[in-house]
A and B are shown apart, each in its own frame.
Chain A
Amino acid sequence: MPHAANEPLMKVPDAALERGRMLLGRARWAASRLAQMDRAAIQRIVDAVAEAGHAKARAFAEAAVRETGYGVVEHKVMKNEACSRGLVALYRGEDFVSPRIDAERKIVELPRPAGVVFALIPVTNPVATVYFKTLLALMTRNAVVLSPHPGAKGVCTEAAHVLAAAAKAAGAPDGAIQVIEEPTIPLIEALMRDERVDLIVATGGPAVVKAAYRSGNPAMGVGPGNAPVLVDDTADVTEAAKRIVASKSFDNSILCTNESTVLAYASIADRLLAAMKAAGAHICTPAETEKVRALLFRDDGFNTAMIGKDAALIAKEAGFSANGAKILVTQVTLVQPEEKLVREKLCPVLAFARVDGLDQAIASARSMMRRSGKGHTAGVHSKREATILAFAAAVPALRFAVNAGCSLGASGFETHLGPSMTIGTGFAGGSSIGDNLTPHHFVHFARVAYNKAASETFGDFRGLDPLDLPKPSAPPRLVASTGAAGEADADALRRELRRIILEELNAVLAA
């Protein structure tokens, strides 16, 4: 009797975990081979991968918006380009592969890649982060296993396959770039705990970051942002307004570095609002503000359906019209976590508060970050150094974008910070790194350090390649003593033959 339910008659094991483990094993093989490659070979692979990603920047930007519903295609194209060709151009001059000789300090440094990098990919910036983490891993001779957020698994899988094919064609070992095509939380948590993972790089929600740190494997996780932006009375108000609007509307605020709340000196607040309006912001009435608050913040938290949506669409959903607006500005009087509008909003809604001076600005910034955003980002628009420093000294952010938009400023594309899709939130933000993630985080160095004493001279390591050192000779042969003379002769002849063959073999192997 065929049975009714869709359940099979016999249970079968969940092969997903086993497949995932095999994928890690494959990555380990790739890592061991990558570690044997020289700089030229690595650069060829990196270039090929960057070019392949760049060529598909638009197609994947469109696919990402289609799949996730988040962000703006044009802006995603920019990010995808910046995180492929742009990233590679930036680090072209740096060498993460060859030994470094520091004759002054009598130290030789040998790069040691992490091995297998397990890279979590957020739903908000899926393709750019796939490109970014893959290239960082390859530059430093690591294999990467990409673990996309389930909401972006389609486009991430496709992007990973494109990069992997390009890498393979350029000489990368099998398994250098792999992707978990069917991610689930139990699967990812199990894989993160696996001993075959050398480093987890977690970008995503706090839950996944905490899970990464709980895994027992080395991890770099980053916490959420919630950037306060100070605009004081020395700021170029028009420029500040333009930058803030541009940044807040960039990819519909989906970068975690985006502005959360403007803290404007009261003396310039009205001028700033007017300039923002001129730059394309819709300044909400108190009634509209109430509607936006109600739309974005539900009883069970942030309304994720609004992440990365257009300002006009958000207004429409809230029940008013703001056609053509780039961002919505909602004015608040209380800058404390209980005012929901001063929390992180991954959408083009910007809170705006008036402060009567620096002390109140600092107190407000600290207050709003108490709930979330510590270790992340803040912005300052000012020409007064003492104000800038006082704000930076007191506010618990680790990067302050000065006279620049936060989205692209704090993420290093419009400042000289490391351009990054992954923003270290440091100890305050529950992370082991405080910098923007760069290739330097993926490689350690074995240090060969000589005795300081002047009597001990530093060796000459120039021209020595650890991947291609002369082979030590084989141990001397043990000559067996045998009985009969004839047999001994035959033995001696065979030994002599073997010696000659061995020498030839050695020559071939050493070549």
Chain B
Amino acid sequence: MYDYGLFRYESKADLLDTAIRYWNPDKTKFWQKLGVDLVIDRREGYFLYDMSGRRLIDLHLNGGTYNFGHRHPELVETLKYALDYFDMGNHWFPSVARSALAEELVGISPGLKYAVFGAGGAEAVEIALKSARFATKRRRILSIYKGYHGHSGLSVATGDDRFSKIFLADRPEEFEQVPFNDLAAMERALSGRDVAALIIETIPATYGFPMPDDGYLPACKALCQKYGTIYIADEVQTGLMRTGEMWGWQSYGVQPDIYVTAKGLSGGLYPISAAVVDERCGDWLNIDGAAHITTTGGAELGCIVALKVLEMLQRPAVVANVAAVTEFFANGMAEMMRRHGDIFSGVRQKGVVLGLEFDHPEGAVHVSRALYEHGVWAIFSSLDKRVLQFKPGVLLSVDLCEEILDRFDAAMPRARELMHAARKAA
């Protein structure tokens, strides 16, 4: 019996049944079929606990949402105190919390002028794209093949058509894609001078974190400048110290006209996102500030948690920890490749953003399952299933890092076996 006060389930099977019946049959069954029978119950630090009580180390972090781990005590306390005074607030009026967060965000974003808030990543992307259209008076949006920016109207149209076609939300006449790391294609697409914005993840997450070539991102920015296009950096997974600096664009030396942050900004506790825009793209805030309205976007409770998140991320100890975790997994994964190079073929890494390549078209699906069986939860890249997303949190301790590596090492024979069986079956 799982009694949560407001609701209860007889068993895990009972919950799964309810989920299939009322929530999302396909998603529920998908994981069952994959051998990942996870229903997250308790959560604490970098640990998740399945309803069965089994502990998993979280290396998925929902793309960095749980950058600090789950229910970080300082963030929880901040939110609890905030609830004694604030609520979501009224989006019509200037607000103490919203203004403070906007000031902080702009303060740590050289070259940019205003912060516009949303509740989720897609909403912030929406704001970014609209701002670019406003600034350029152009309509076309360019994005990267297998890029991912969320599932709202404009954002979903920038992405893989698996997510847009089913809803008839693809708009080929306005949205174009070019391959990542292909500057010639980029220039061809921009040279018509009719593109409002290039939106690009600093490292494309859902595509398995392929690393931008040296100079690629600054060159994209230069092309944007040349052809009058706004450069939007999607920092939803690369911001907030995950690449070793506060924003991924800083670690690649590229100055965006707009960037978008979400996920981890919320501390995993209260949804909030932001598009941070330069003067030109934000000028609509001078002309008609109510042109974009959102009741839940920039809720004051979220603003307060986000302020705490940003303060914590700037502590020297956190910066040092990111460097330590980065170095640990750089060395550790090189060693794992030495030991398991027959299946483990490559590492993509920038800071604590890692993509691990496996030598099988669905290699990462098998590795994900093998790791799951060994007490580690890391997800494969939806748009490139050879690559496992491996996302350590910024506060990981050396002991937990060592445990992760030991578990990874121990899981490899099982991963090998699963891949082997899949090859045979094919």
Contacts and interface: CB of A to CB of B under 8 A. Distances in A.
Interface string A12-33: 1101001100110110110110
A168 to B, nearest CB: 12
A481 B420 CA distance: 9
B77 A13 contact: yes
A471 interface: yes
B398 A29 contact: yes
B81 A10 contact: yes
B84 interface: yes
A482 B337 contact: no
Grouping DSSP codes into helix (H, G, I), strand (E, B) and loop, the B interface class, with mixed when no group exceeds half, is helix
A469 interface: no
Given A19-B317, A23-B317, A478 B324 contact: no
A25 B395 contact: yes
A474 B81 contact: no
A32 B84 CA distance: 42
Residue of B86, B321, B340 with most partner-chain A CB within 10 A: B321
Nearest to A501: B341
Contacts of B341: 474, 498, 501-502, 505
A25 B86 CA distance: 33
A25 to B, nearest CB: 5
A506 B338 contact: yes
B74 A474 contact: no
B342 A19 contact: no
Contact of A471 (B312, B338, B359, B423): B338
A175 B85 contact: no
A474 B315 contact: no
Interface in B79-111: 81-82, 84-86
Contacts of B423: 480-482
A475 B395 contact: no
Nearest to B304: A10
Interface string B326-361: 000000001101111111010000000000000100
Interface residues of B, number: 40
Contacts of B317: 19, 22-23, 25-26
B219 interface: no
B45 to A, nearest CB: 11
A11 B338 contact: no
A29 B85 contact: no
B345 A32 contact: no
Contacts, number: 90
Given A18-B74, A19-B317, A478 B416 contact: yes
Contacts of B315: 19, 22
Contact of B335 (A26, A478, A509): A509
A28 B328 CA distance: 13
Given A25-B397, A475-B342, A480-B420, A10 B321 contact: no
Contacts of A19: 315, 317
B321 A25 contact: yes
A474 B321 contact: no
Contacts of A501: 341
A196 interface: yes
B15 interface: no
B183 interface: no
A475 B339 contact: yes
Given A13-B77, A22-B317, A474 B399 contact: no
**The 6 residue pairs across chains A and B that have the minimum distance between CB atoms:** A22-B317, A13-B77, A477-B342, A29-B324, A11-B81, A480-B423
11 contacts: A26-B321, A32-B398, A174-B323, A474-B338, A474-B340, A474-B342, A475-B339, A480-B423, A480-B424, A481-B424, A505-B337
Given A10-B304, A471-B338, A475-B340, 13 more contacts: A10-B84, A10-B85, A13-B73, A18-B312, A22-B317, A26-B324, A28-B397, A175-B320, A474-B340, A478-B416, A481-B423, A498-B359, A509-B334
